[in-house]
Copies of this chain bind each other. A is one copy, B any other.
């Protein structure tokens, strides 16, 4: 992709109406644009990142054996009345049509997925089953001020699993937990698993996957030595007290919830009166689990936790491009011709190897501006070609200071 033809929305100044670092950086670097609080457009660079995060999550969900589907966002009022959500969920957006019909905008999809899946589950032999989608959701938030961390419109992966009994749910949950930790790891994040309160309906404990960041909206108490971690909302323990598991001193930190799991019990099967025939030939309601990952929120959390004073620092596998080639031209036309030929050849060679590359081939932009924009965008490898670099390429990793001179023949291996 040549930058002379690429549509950049980068700005010289950070936006004044954003309070959090993720929004300031993502807007300034041209990844997103704010339409209103909690609602953003995804621009060419931002859409690439969003799709890359989706891909990581999709691969792990498929690996887990869940089936991808896509459920509607516009819901009839009736299904939300069946479960009680119409009157009890305050973030549910409600719509009245011109014929006075009422709808809700999906903020979660239990009301859709339960009838959909249970219509094909007759006996225990049809269980367990898990489906997921990567789709947009809506919440009527009172305040949305944290950039991509708390949206009125946001992209989520939500998975729903159906089980014959609690044991089977627990087994699946343990596998899902491993998938989640693998996902966050692949995204360059360290997530802690906390116990939290169960949300609107569930009487049971739920699990939250938390990433430490000051822009988060939760406070967690965690042990620096073992995996003990709780949301402060549900504990009487305090910072400085001893870990109940290993007696280390507990620490408190601000965190953002990037994933969660709810044990829904039999609520939704019962609400819709949709059951199955169990091993003992009796009608039974399924145990259901719900597993969320905030895809657009993850983009915000990564921006929030991985940046420096110059800009964003994307991990390799979700960066909008793996490599940023910068051609530095001067006053000498003959030299410039050689530089541009080298640049285009390098671009084409990398692209032929399946490496995503952005190439700053602009002729009338200063080196300083090119470098500044490159740092702001946060592409992992910066490759400079200039009159000085001769038969080598000047390579710098975004998150390191060191500059290396690398042979053209060795560059693909270097950035792979």
Contacts and interface: CB of A to CB of B under 8 A. Distances in A.
Interface of A: 5-9, 33, 35-36, 39-44, 47, 50, 65, 67-76, 90, 93-99, 103, 105, 112, 116, 120, 129, 131, 136, 138, 140, 142, 152-153
A40 B7 contact: no
Nearest to A10: B120
Nearest to A74: B153
A315 B42 CA distance: 32
Contacts of A5: 65
Given A65-B5, A95-B95, A71 B129 contact: no
Contact of A140 (B41, B98, B105, B112): B98
Given A7-B131, A47-B69, 10 more contacts: A5-B65, A6-B67, A7-B67, A7-B129, A8-B120, A35-B71, A41-B71, A42-B71, A47-B68, A105-B105
A381 B15 CA distance: 55
Nearest to A65: B5
B73 A44 contact: no
Given A35-B75, A35-B76, A36-B76, A69 B93 contact: no
Nearest to A93: B95
Contacts of A96: 94
A257 B191 CA distance: 48
A73 B153 contact: yes
A140 B96 CA distance: 10
Nearest to A33: B116
Contact of A50 (B70, B90, B116): B70
Contacts of A138: 74
A379 B131 CA distance: 23
B140 A97 contact: yes
A318 B93 CA distance: 35
A165 to B, nearest CB: 21
11 contacts: A6-B67, A7-B131, A35-B71, A41-B70, A43-B69, A47-B69, A72-B153, A93-B95, A95-B105, A98-B140, A105-B105
B65 A41 contact: no
Contact of A72 (B41, B70, B76, B90): B41
A304 B136 CA distance: 29
Contacts of A9: 120
A366 B74 CA distance: 39
B153 A39 contact: no
Contacts of A43: 69
A43 B69 CA distance: 5
Contacts of A47: 68-70
Contact of A68 (B44, B94, B95, B120): B44
Nearest to A5: B65
A71 B42 CA distance: 6
Contacts of A50: 70
Nearest to A78: B36
Nearest to A67: B7
A49 to B, nearest CB: 11
A207 B5 CA distance: 29
A68 B142 CA distance: 31
